[in-house]
Structure 1
């Protein structure tokens, strides 16, 4: 048997009063009288069998039990507020949820997102950074960006980012390599890998390197770890040019070798066929494809 909950009105009165530490302010927020708030809290205390407030002259304070109860209820009511805001925003058609990897979000999407927000200030974009696969309908996902070969059954898949992988390092390492380095000079540096460890092997073979052990170096579970290790000067990493265009342009990072590695793998925009019926989703898709093309 499920234990019965206290009156929702009483819980709202308590949560608002505890937040303001004022029945008058709570009453103003809830559009009732202070007397009604006081009565609801007394009924709540009676049903719980504990005192939630210590009442003093012109002041109320939470008791220890009240503080514990408020800590939990504050979180619960905040979750309700967020869920309600998300639901109403989606019904108005001006909110969308995108899922992508943390690396894509950090290095490609977020540096560009302000341009979309400047032209579509009424659209609320919510980003869920995750590697796991989602059920679009069940999880409330509108669009997904996934790294792979594309071709997801029952979904539309559009190739988004497929530029070259190039070795990237900090300026100090690039200076040590010299103005026109040989790929074999990488034998003296750590090769930083993400989960696609074979990329270095393919790049070194294409570059004609014969003295570099492609299997040497640490492996990171995602691109962000490899990027941070490279940025700290730990070694050289293979990264997509488009992910680092700002750092490369400003000279904070260097691509010392001109050769890039192309791959069948790419980032794809994935969505169900009905997703574009919502204007906000259609607008964001158009913007993503335009940014990728640029």
Structure 2
């Protein structure tokens, strides 16, 4: 069996438009090309098929019997493509919205407020996935992400949601060994435990008026839960959201070694590819989360 190649798509579009209008001129206007271009596309299609699709007479153009037989499946194919494209476009506007977020932010802030989002946007089904890894939007099935950092993500739109109060904490055995620091500068000599970006301590020392602290040393973790465990194990002093370590402080498992600080630029940010900025379901989530943070008096 001889396998034929599919006819050129532009030629099929020219055929369908000309057959619908029974006019090369009108088909050309619809397709935004010249009548000569449409005529050439029709000749290309007829040559490809090896048949005549139109009768050309002085007063107009008419479908041959073969052309009339060919038109319905071609028209149906274009309709199916249009309907499928519309369904996909609609799914991009509504349907499932996947949000990647750290487990702490999800449990402490996002989840308790989701009822309001669902009430305001019943057409959007929210899927929350917890991860501390940076999202690869080209590979991961994620629409938007919420991450803690400085908000500088090349190629991504970034919106500051809220700044969390952070506090330097250490295990009791480390404090007993090194002594309770009298001033923030004393912590420059302590071992540090870092987040993945390794910038939080530098920002914290700057906020205390301490500039010359040298390069960051010590272990770093991209999982806040592991960072807490490292601090509990006495590996160093860590900077953590005050709300996150409140239970450990209350139970005496951790000790506060300096006051609570609010670093305005070191915050939780909503991030997503710039191309998704106007996507309706992304825009709806952006409006909601920024408004929710503003109402709570937490945004900047």
Q: TM-score, normalised by structure 2?
A: 0.47
Structure number with higher strand proportion: 2
Computing the radius of gyration over CA atoms, which structure comes out larger, 1 or 2? 2
